[in-house]
Amino acid sequence: MQKPSSTIQRYFGLFDTLVMHVTSDGQVFDFDGHCVPAWFSSRVHSIGHQVDRDWLTDIFPFLDCFWEIADNFWKSGEKSLVRSGVWEEEVEEQGSVHLEAIASRLGNTQLLFVGPLMFDYIAKSKLLQQGRELLLAHEALAIREQELRLSRTQQRDLLWAIPDTYLMIDDRNRIIEHNSQDLPRGKEGCPLGCYFGEEHLTHVRVGLEVVRDTKQNREMDLRKNAGGTRNDLELRMVYLEQTRVLVVIRDVTRQRETERLKDDFLSQASHELKAPLTGISGCMGYLLDDFKELPQEIVKWLTMSRESSDHLLRMVNNLLRVQKIESGYQRFSKAYMDMGKFLTNAGLSFVGLSKGTGIDIKVMEPELGLRVWADPDAIRQVLDNLVSNAVKHSPHDRPVEVAVRRHGDKARITVQDYGPGIPENYQEKVFEKFIQAPGDRARKKGTGLGLTIAKAIVAEHKGRIGVESEPGSHTVFFVDLPLADPDLYMM
């Protein structure tokens, strides 16, 4: 006689499902041993026509949580079937299979189906996967939003703590946040013109545009005239997210005034010192050159005195030079220069700068066609100052390398040495008057003004001078000069 399970299996074509007839005591499951699904026979190597509950549970531990539900169903007589829920099994050569058990009934015949019965399973699982991925993305977004809100609050608190004025500018150039007493407050913000006068508005707008385009911070100086008083302002523009720009404004009027007084004093003192120093140096020279019979001891002391007074004179002259450039009294004879050609020619006379040191000054093959609008003599002085500075700090067996390359819309001159390097906290200061880095670099002789002069000259050419150094390895001084407009050059 054919088993009911076998009839159902064949009638409904459930060949991927294990269809079992459950005996009355509910412990033994009878099935058609000739019609076992492939996933089951590959998993269970030896099988009869009957299995008991424990054996099946041992193969599929998941069923352990289903028996009670199934028993209740078979006893109750309600509903047409009860499902176990899905579980996953690894099956030989088939990989992962999702299965489900269903307890059902045909009259008094208790049936148990085990198989991949959920026809809509693939669609459901895809939906679940997508739903959870969406939930994850939503969660991440919520966390990010919360952090952003927190950071904005912290940002505002921090800005309130600084003594400078700050303005937060949005992408429409409206002041949306500020700590200025002179400005109105409101959600809509106010236009830039509320704070900056007509004479500065374009300048500030251009600055903001550059900051947004380059996403780089920018500094700017402004002189504000209001109510008969003049204020020097230093603006620092900081790019923030969502094209907002933070502008921190510091009133540097007093600081600039102090600097001017200091420079005036130095300039005046230098002028006063120059004449007597020249006289002293001249007299020493006269004594040394014209009195050949002086005792050796006196010659020694006189020579030392003359070296010292010459050094002092050089310092005074350099101070006066810095002062002249910084105050705008230095006249520059600017012309279009091809920096590549200029460097090649200058390289020929670099030998003099390393005389007696044995240091090789290498001019790396320069890039040609980089034209700048500059004073060749002044640029030559910048170059000489940087090269002689590098020679001073370079070990005798390593070269000093000079190069010129295009750097964006600038021509970049670099002077590299392999000396002891400059500590990071001194790299900004080396261009200040009389500042020298500690350690080996500081022990070298110099007036401490060479780099200050170079900086002043570069600033007068609307360029930028800087240094990058890795202590113990190398130092690179660079000068960026704006490339001249080729159309202008053609004229």
Partner 1 sequence: MIKKKICLLGSFAVGKTSVIKQYVHGIFSEKYLTTIGVKIDRKQIETEAGPVLLLIWDLNGADKFADIRSSYLKGSSGFLLVVDGTRPSTLMRALEISESLDQTLGHLPRILLINKSDLSSEWRLAETDLEPLLSQGWTILKTSAKTGEHVEQAFSQLTRAMLESEG
Contact 351, 298 (CB under 8 A): no
Q: Compute the distance between CA of residue 69 and CA of residue 176 in angstroms, rounded to an integer.
A: 65
Q: Compute the distance between CA of residue 261 and CA of residue 484 in angstroms, rounded to an integer.
A: 36
Residues in the interface with partner 1 (CB under 8 A) total 25
Using the rule CB under 8 A, give the single segment among 133-141, 294-302, 303-311, 433-441 that binds partner 1.
133-141
Positive or negative: CA dihedral 374, 376, 379, 381: negative
Show contacts with partner 1 in window 111-130 (CB under 8 A).
121, 124-125, 128-129
The residue (of 64 and 470) whose beta carbon lies closer to partner 1 is 64
Using the rule CB under 8 A, give the single segment among 60-68, 232-240, 275-283, 434-442 that binds partner 1.
60-68
Show contacts with partner 1 in window 69-108 (CB under 8 A).
69, 85-88, 98, 100
Residue 150 binds to partner 1 (criterion: CB under 8 A): no
The upper half-sphere exposure of residue 428, i.e. CA atoms within 13 Å in the direction of its Cβ, equals 1
The residue (of 98 and 250) whose beta carbon lies closer to partner 1 is 98
Provide DSSP, 53-74.
Answer: HHHHHHH-GGGGGTHHHHHHHH
Q: Of the candidates 16, 92, 139, 171, which one interacts with partner 1 according to CB under 8 A? A: 139
Beta bridge partners of 239: 245
Contact 364, 339 (CB under 8 A): no
Contact 174, 191 (CB under 8 A): yes
The residue (of 115 and 421) whose beta carbon lies closer to partner 1 is 115
Residue 418 binds to partner 1 (criterion: CB under 8 A): no
Using alpha carbons, select from 350, 329, 445 the residue that is nearest to residue 399: 350
Residue 374 C-beta: closest distance to partner 1, Å: 48
Instruction: Please provide residue 257's backbone torsions phi and psi, each rounded to the nearest 5 degrees.
Output: -65, -45
Residue 39 binds to partner 1 (criterion: CB under 8 A): no
Binding mask 460-489 for partner 1 (x = CB under 8 A): ------------------------------
The residue (of 16 and 485) whose beta carbon lies closer to partner 1 is 16
Q: How many CB atoms lie within 10 A of CB 70?
A: 22
Q: Of the candidates 27, 49, 65, 349, which one interacts with partner 1 according to CB under 8 A? A: 65
Contact 94, 41 (CB under 8 A): no
Q: Which pair of structure tokens corresponds to residue 279?
A: 């006289």
The residue (of 58 and 424) whose beta carbon lies closer to partner 1 is 58
Residue 141 binds to partner 1 (criterion: CB under 8 A): no
The residue (of 143 and 158) whose beta carbon lies closer to partner 1 is 143
Q: Compute the distance between CA of residue 224 and CA of residue 182 in angstroms, rounded to an integer.
A: 15
Instruction: Please provide residue 437's backbone torsions phi and psi, each rounded to the nearest 5 degrees.
Output: -70, 150
Residue 97 C-beta: closest distance to partner 1, Å: 11
Residue 52 binds to partner 1 (criterion: CB under 8 A): no
Using the rule CB under 8 A, give the single segment among 8-16, 65-73, 318-326, 450-458 that binds partner 1.
65-73
Q: Which pair of structure tokens corresponds to residue 25?
A: 């005591």
The residue (of 136 and 261) whose beta carbon lies closer to partner 1 is 136
Using alpha carbons, select from 489, 453, 457, 490 the residue that is nearest to residue 373: 489
Q: Compute the distance between CA of residue 367 and CA of residue 483 in angstroms, rounded to an integer.
A: 13
Residue 133 binds to partner 1 (criterion: CB under 8 A): yes
Residue 134 C-beta: closest distance to partner 1, Å: 10
Helix, strand and coil content of the chain, in percent to the nearest 5, comes to 45, 25, 30
Residue 12 C-beta: closest distance to partner 1, Å: 24
The residue (of 144 and 462) whose beta carbon lies closer to partner 1 is 144
The residue (of 84 and 447) whose beta carbon lies closer to partner 1 is 84
Q: Of the candidates 29, 39, 40, 66, which one interacts with partner 1 according to CB under 8 A? A: 66
Using the rule CB under 8 A, give the single segment among 62-70, 72-80, 264-272, 450-458 that binds partner 1.
62-70
Residue 298 binds to partner 1 (criterion: CB under 8 A): no
The residue (of 67 and 478) whose beta carbon lies closer to partner 1 is 67
How far separated are the first and last CA of the chain, in Å rounded?
110
Contact 94, 39 (CB under 8 A): yes
The residue (of 61 and 408) whose beta carbon lies closer to partner 1 is 61
Q: How many CB atoms lie within 10 A of CB 27?
A: 11
Q: What angle do CA 120, 123, 125 make, to 5 degrees?
A: 105
Residue 444 binds to partner 1 (criterion: CB under 8 A): no
Q: How many CB atoms lie within 10 A of CB 99?
A: 22
Residue type, 253: T
Q: Of the candidates 33, 131, 184, 191, which one interacts with partner 1 according to CB under 8 A? A: 131
Residues in touch with partner 1 (CB under 8 A): 61-62, 64-66, 68-69, 85-88, 98, 100, 121, 124-125, 128-129, 131-133, 135-136, 139, 143
